[in-house]
Amino acid sequence: MKRKVLLIYTGGTIGMEKDYETGSLRAFDFGNIFEKMPEMKLMECEVFVHPFAKPLDSSDMGPEEWKIIAHYIQKNYDQYDGFLVLHGTDTMSYTASALSFMLKGLKKPVILTGSQLPIGDLRTDAKENLLTSLYYASLYENDEAVIQEVAIYFEYKLLRGNRTLKYSAEYFDAYASPNYPILGQSGVHLNIIKENLHRDDSDVEFHVDDHISEDVLFWRIFPGMQLSHFKEIPTMKVLILQVFGSGTIFSSEKTRETLQEIRNNGTEIVVVSQCISGGISFGKYENSNIFSKIGAISGKDMTAESAITKAMHLIDNPNYQGSFADHFSKSLCGEISE
Ligand code: ASP
């Protein structure tokens, strides 16, 4: 039986080609992808293409577009075996993280990919990324999807979406998953590392919870930073602080006072690390004790992208009863090590 994959094209470099007369990049009509890439017809799966009416640079993708994608997957969930989202690379990790929280009870593959060079470029990385992603999006064993989560496939690696970050604007190998091992790798053989795959053990039927609040702020702490600026900004529901190393910040009385004041206003404070790998460990250094004292939440080894979208999803979400801190600290879909 031929598996069916729904390809949702949102925009980004992958759908561009060079206009050889003017030398500039332009979006091509993705509905014609089969003419551009006849190789797609050789795939063992059937591919159905749904292009966004107006392809977007991924810097224009946000909560509205995440919801559109999530609902489109929901609408088509029963008709297709897997989903492939083609996306600009700049914010792909945010979209992958957000989707991982919004698609509840997911039992089918949702793969995101893009490319560093346009599909129409001679040296493009788009074709391999696209073809191998289709393979992963249609991979079944014993009538069960092998991948049952949101993943990013890029430059020979399959990664858990909510563990990724874009770390290179230059190299084809643009994504990293520093705190979680790869899910699969393509070489001569296309392999999957089954023990690394996520499984949702709940009995929850697939559905979309599209709650996303934009009342979240992210600040990176730096030496010499004037904390008084915090007092100039209006109150927000969640403040994510990206602090030094394993969770430290300058130890002045002013720091304690300012952060305490923010907490007293009812703002949740989440702490993530500026280090790409490793994470927060409250209590390891004296200069992290302030966070425990004010009741801040450790983002442990989450990426900034994942912490931001998880906070957006959880804050004021009527489907999550109980404390924000408790829900935030637990793994919803493999985004944090417990
Ligand atoms: N600016 C583009 C985007 O993110 C870059 C890319 O696709 O690689 O949409």
Q: Which amino acid is at 305?
A: E
Query: Looking at per-residue confidence, does 17 or 89 come out higher?
Result: 89
The pLDDT value recorded for residue 325 is 98
- Which pLDDT tens digit goes with each residue over 211-237? 999 999 999 999 999 988 888 888 899
Give SS3 for 128: helix
Q: Return binding residues for substrate.
A: 58, 89-90
β-strand partners of 112: 85, 152
Q: Which residues line ligand 1 (CB under 6 A)?
A: 11-13, 57-58, 88-90, 114, 116
* CATH, range 3-208: 3.40.50.1170
User: What's the CATH fold of domain 216-329?
Assistant: Rossmann fold (3.40.50)
Render pLDDT for 222-275 as a digit per residue (tens, 0 to 9): 999 998 888 888 889 999 999 999 999 999 999 999 999 999 999 999 999 999
pLDDT value of residue 329: 97
Q: Are 58 and 11 in contact (CB under 8 A)?
A: yes
Instruction: For 1-35, write each residue's pLDDT tens digit.
Output: 899 999 999 999 998 877 778 887 777 788 888 88
pLDDT digits (tens, 9 = 90+) for 93-151: 999 999 999 999 999 999 999 999 998 888 999 999 999 999 999 999 999 999 999 99
Residue 141: count of CB within 10 angstroms of its CB: 9
- Tell me, in angstroms, the distance from the centre of ligand 1 to residue 122's CA: 18
Report yes or no on whether pTM surpasses 0.95.
yes
CB 326 within 8 A of CB 295: no
Ligand 1 atom nearest to CA at 11 = 9
Residue 253 parent element (H or E) = helix 253-264
**Distance of alpha carbon 102 from alpha carbon 208, whole angstroms:** 5
- Starting from the edge strand earliest in sequence, which strands make up the sheet with 4-9, in order? 46-51, 4-9, 82-86, 110-113, 150-154, 157-160, 184-186, 190-192
Residue with the bigger pLDDT between 34 and 276: it is 276
Which residues make up the CATH 3.40.50.1170 domain(s) of the chain? 3-208
Considering the chain, tell me which residue range(s) the CATH 3.40.50.40 domain(s) occupy: 216-329
Choose the catalytic residue: 10, 22, 89, 113: 89
Known catalytic membership, residue 13: yes
**pLDDT above 80 (res 311):** yes
Residue 282 has pLDDT above 80, yes or no: yes
> 69 alpha carbon to ligand 1 midpoint, in Å?
18
Best residue among 26, 30, 90, 305 to mutate for probing ligand 1's pocket (most ligand atoms within 8 Å of CB) is 90
To the query of whether residue 132 is one of the catalytic residues in this protein, the response is no
Question: Burial letters for 5-44: b for 16+ Cβ neighbours within 10 Å, e otherwise?
Answer: bbbbbbbbbbbbeeeeeeeeeebbebeebeebeeebeebe
Distance between CA atoms of residues 129 and 328, nearest Å = 33
Instruction: Report d(CA 279, CA 335) in Å as an integer.
Output: 13
Note the pLDDT of residue 278.
97
Report, as an integer, the average pLDDT of 300-327: 98
Q: Which residues contact 307 (CB under 8 A, 6 or more apart)?
A: 240, 270, 272, 299
57, 94, 119, best to mutate for ligand 1 pocket (most atoms within 8 Å of CB): 57
Q: At 297, list the tokens.
A: 């939440």
Q: Which amino acid, residue 91?
A: T
The sign of the torsion formed by the CA atoms of 271, 275, 280, 285 equals: negative
Q: What is the mean pLDDT of the chain?
A: 95
